[in-house]
Chains A and B, each alone.
Chain A
Amino acid sequence: QKEVEQNSGPLSVPEGAIASLNCTYSDRGSQSFFWYRQYSGKSPELIMSIYSNGDKEDGRFTAQLNKASQYVSLLIRDSQPSDSATYLCAVNDYKLSFGAGTTVTVRA
């Protein structure tokens, strides 16, 4: 079983809509969770971190964590064409484990 799993996508949303990305993880003891954005041919960049159950908002991004369900999600509100990228979920145990990523395309 993979450690971190994401809905494979691709996910296509119209400009201005909400993009919803999901991630589950296998290690119940995991404590730190991250969302990275990766543009094609580029390295990942950190956009959100979350450590406690509940929601965390940063601008148009909201991360949601439910440790009981071993589930973490990312919502992108008012999606813009510049949000088109692959979003990687990462879980930190001793070292970061990345999901395969969900590719998001925002249609203008």
Chain B
Amino acid sequence: GAVVSQHPSWVICKSGTSVKIECRSLDFQATTMFWYRQFPKQSLMLMATSNEGSKATYEQGVEKDKFLINHASLTLSTLTVTSAHPEDSSFYICSAPGQPGELFFGEGSRLTVL
């Protein structure tokens, strides 16, 4: 199957700083990528859809000014958590679509905000 690589796999930062997470499709081009967030013992919640060359589409309740998404090329999407706070600590996962409904997930990035 297709490979999606995510970096960093874990990051610890101080409250108020910004953190950038990269998601790359290694062996295919992805015009669309999805960013999910997962809190402990909860399901994956879609945050936004990243669209190459255009603005991301955010889900209801997700602050677009706090979670900046850039999809500048067909193989790279980035999520920047700005002015991070402890409540932003979570597991962030990117994915790219394959066959209808099938998603190829990155390895995930665990963010801890102190």
Query: A residues near B, CB below 8 A?
Result: 32, 34, 41-46, 49, 88, 90, 92, 95-96, 98-101
Contacts and interface: CB of A to CB of B under 8 A. Distances in A.
Given A44-B44, A95-B34, A98-B43, A34 B102 contact: yes
B57 to A, nearest CB: 10
A46 B44 contact: no
B70 to A, nearest CB: 20
B43 A100 contact: yes
A45 B105 CA distance: 7
Interface stretch (B11-19, B76-84, B106-114): B106-114
Contacts of B103: 44, 46, 96
B100 A43 contact: no
Contacts, number: 43
A42 B108 contact: yes
A92 B100 contact: yes
Contact of A98 (B44, B99, B106): B44
A42 B107 contact: yes
B101 A32 contact: yes
B49 interface: yes
Contacts of B44: 44, 88, 98
